[in-house]
Structure 1
């Protein structure tokens, strides 16, 4: 098959575009997750002062991922990005137990947002490579995730640093986007 016929085939079957909002507190690992998805170098990551946008191809989808900074002063601006969100990915630093209440409150507020109503949620329990990390089951229980009834959700253990669990989470995302788009 020549290059021209490959290009024609790609053009005749365009990927579905999916808008993903990647949120979480500062230092949770959102940008590292994003760079891991894009197969980019993760050795030098600085705190996000605004937002990062990357398009990632996965399972026939073009995933447009919006990574918004998680510093307290930036969080009020998250709502500017809610429109047309297909999937919410919320990243939690599993080793930062002191901030579990804060991250739980932020997640609860997001789930109350009208513009995010019914949007599937993937929660990455990140930094599982650290000895002090709480297991995903403990985080799910602590955040009362079992009470979420208005949308599908999944908590996924991962280490954005090593990449472990990240693809499993994205497989869940693609499965639920596929179901939503049908």
Structure 2
């Protein structure tokens, strides 16, 4: 006779950023501690990562959504029931920083993300000439843009893993958990939605 265990508290975290920012590399490094060659994400990747929040075990369900222009219009389909936002910026690509800033601001204006914690991964710090976390803070005008939420900019390298755990732990401490999320239902809903848009 088995014991009926209670489910661990869960929180959904959205992993967004432009194409090529390193979102999938961040996700797989956090989950498996491995660097892997990734291809542009068409659709989304989902991984569950165990963590500790105030000495209790919780599960963070990380949704890595493709960052190509055609995928960004679908970001809002993933906002519901999100507890926190991880936004990855390629700090070595100065030409696209304004584009990244624009997309982040657009996402943060959505009602469903109002007041939710934000951690920005200032990625590719291992690349010579990359902008610093301080420069990202100033260039993205975060003190003004994020005045209604907890936020933090974490310098990191998704390839080496430097800084990733610090940023992840920061998000773990900021999110509110829920044991009512139904991951399977969400996946089913999103798949049916994406199938409908493919048929159109």
Give TM-score, length-normalised by structure 2.
Answer: 0.82
Question: In the TM superposition, what is the alpha-carbon distance from 1:149 to its structure 2 partner?
Answer: 1.1
> Could you say if the C-alpha distance between residues 167 and 34 of structure 1 is closer, same or farther in structure 2, counting changes exceeding 3 Å?
same
Question: In the TM superposition, what is the alpha-carbon distance from 1:58 to its structure 2 partner?
Answer: 1.3
Unaligned runs of 5+ in 1: none
Tell whether 2:80 aligns with 1:87: no
**Take 2:51 and 2:158, find their aligned partners in 1: how far apart are those partners?**
17
Question: In the TM superposition, what is the alpha-carbon distance from 1:173 to its structure 2 partner?
Answer: 0.8
CA offset digits 1:104-146 (Å, max 9, x no partner): 0001111100111111101000001111211100011000011
**Take 1:115 and 1:96, find their aligned partners in 2: how far apart are those partners?**
29
CA offset digits 1:34-71 (Å, max 9, x no partner): 00111154232111011101111111111110000000
**Take 1:141 and 1:168, find their aligned partners in 2: how far apart are those partners?**
21
- Which of the residues 66, 69, 72 maps onto 2:66? 69
Who is 2:23 aligned against? 30
Query: Structure 2 matches for 1:133-172, cutoff 5 A?
Result: 133-147=130-144, 148-172=146-170
Contact 2:25 2:36 in 1 (8 A): no
Where has structure 1 moved over 6 Å in runs of 4 or more? Answer: none
CA offset digits 1:62-117 (Å, max 9, x no partner): 11100000001110000000000001000000100000110000011111001111
- Which of the residues 121, 133, 147 maps onto 1:124? 121
**Take 2:140 and 2:102, find their aligned partners in 1: how far apart are those partners?**
9
**Take 1:15 and 1:83, find their aligned partners in 2: how far apart are those partners?**
20
Unaligned runs of 5+ in 2: 179-200
**Take 2:165 and 2:79, find their aligned partners in 1: how far apart are those partners?**
24
Tell whether 2:40 aligns with 1:43: no
**Take 1:41 and 1:175, find their aligned partners in 2: how far apart are those partners?**
24
Aligned to 2:153, the other structure's residue is in SS state strand
Question: In the TM superposition, what is the alpha-carbon distance from 1:181 to its structure 2 partner?
Answer: 4.4
- Which of the residues 76, 81, 95 maps onto 1:98? 95
**Take 1:96 and 1:162, find their aligned partners in 2: how far apart are those partners?**
18
